[in-house]
Chain A
Amino acid sequence: MEETIQKTQTEKIKPPVVSIGIIGWVKANLFNGWFNSALTIVTLYLLWKTIPPLFRWAFIDSVWRTTGAACRDTGGACWSIVTENLRFILFGFFPYELQWRPLLAILILFALLFFSRDRKYWKKLLGYAWIAGLFIMGLLMKGGLFGLTPVESTQWGGLPLTLLLSVFGLTAAYPLGVVLALGRQSKMRAIKLICIVYIELIRGVPLISLLFMASIIFPLFLPEGLTINKILRAQVAIILFTAAYIAEVVRGGLQGMSLGQYEAAESLGLNYYLTMRLVILPQALKIVIPPTVSILISAFKDTSLVVIIALYDLLKTTQTVLSNPEWMGFSREVYLFVAILYFLGCFSMSNFSRKLEKELSRGD
Chain B
Amino acid sequence: MNKTSSVNSESQSSDKAMIEIIDVHKWFGDFHVLQGINLTVHKGERFVICGPSGSGKSTLIRCINRLEEHQRGRIIVDGIELTNNIKNIEKVRMEVGMVFQHFNLFPHLTIIENLTLGPIWVRKVPKAEAEENAMYYLEKVHIAEQAQKYPGQLSGGQQQRVAIARSLCMNPKVMLFDEPTSALDPEMIKEVLDVMIELAQEGMTMIVVSHEMGFAKSVAHRVLFMDYGKIVEGNSPEEFFENPQNERTKLFLSQILH
Contact = CB atoms under 8 A, between A and B. Distances in A.
A362 B163 CA distance: 20
Given A268-B166, A279-B106, A363 B150 contact: yes
B189 to A, nearest CB: 20
A268 B121 CA distance: 10
A325 interface: no
A153 interface: no
Contacts of A278: 117, 121
Contact of B108 (A263, A274, A363): A363
Nearest to B106: A279
B5 interface: no
Interface residues of A, number: 22
B228 interface: no
A362 B117 contact: no
B107 A269 contact: no
A290 B255 CA distance: 51
B108 A286 contact: yes
B102 A267 contact: no
B134 to A, nearest CB: 13
Q: How large is the interface on B (under 10, 10 to 19, 20 to 34, 35 or more residues)?
A: 20 to 34
A271 B108 contact: no
Contacts of B102: 260
A267 B152 contact: no
A268 B107 contact: no
B206 interface: no
B165 interface: no
Given A269-B122, A270-B122, A363-B150, A264 B106 contact: yes
Interface stretch (B12-20, B92-100, B207-215): B92-100
Contact of B67 (A267, A283, A362): A267
Given A270-B121, A286-B108, A263 B90 contact: no
A260 B163 CA distance: 12
Interface in B113-169: 117-118, 121-122, 150-152, 163, 166-167
Given A268-B93, A268-B117, A268-B166, A363 B107 contact: yes
A327 B205 CA distance: 85
The residue in B86, B94, B96, B108 that gathers the most chain A C-beta atoms within 10 A of its C-beta is B108
Interface in A279-319: 279, 282-283, 286
B65 interface: yes
Main secondary structure of the interface of A (DSSP, over half): helix
B109 interface: yes
Interface string A38-63: 00000000000000000000000000
A360 B108 contact: yes
B150 A270 contact: no
Contacts of A266: 67, 93
A282 B107 CA distance: 10
* Most chain A beta carbons < 10 A, residue from B97, B107, B151, B166: B107
B182 interface: no
A261 interface: yes
Interface in A253-268: 258, 260-261, 263-268
B105 interface: yes
A361 to B, nearest CB: 9
B77 to A, nearest CB: 13
Interface in B166-199: 166-167, 170
Contacts of B117: 268, 270, 278-279
Contacts of A279: 106, 117
Nearest to A272: B86
Contact of A268 (B86, B122, B151): B122
A362 B113 CA distance: 14
A364 interface: yes
Given A278-B121, A286-B108, A264 B100 contact: yes
11 contacts: A263-B67, A264-B104, A264-B106, A266-B93, A267-B67, A269-B90, A269-B94, A269-B122, A269-B170, A270-B121, A363-B108
Q: Which 8 A-B pairs have the closest CB atoms?
A: A264-B104, A268-B118, A260-B104, A363-B150, A267-B98, A269-B93, A269-B94, A269-B122
Interface of A: 258, 260-261, 263-271, 274, 278-279, 282-283, 286, 360, 362-364
Given A264-B98, A267-B167, 9 more contacts: A261-B104, A266-B67, A266-B93, A267-B98, A268-B122, A269-B93, A269-B94, A364-B107, A364-B152
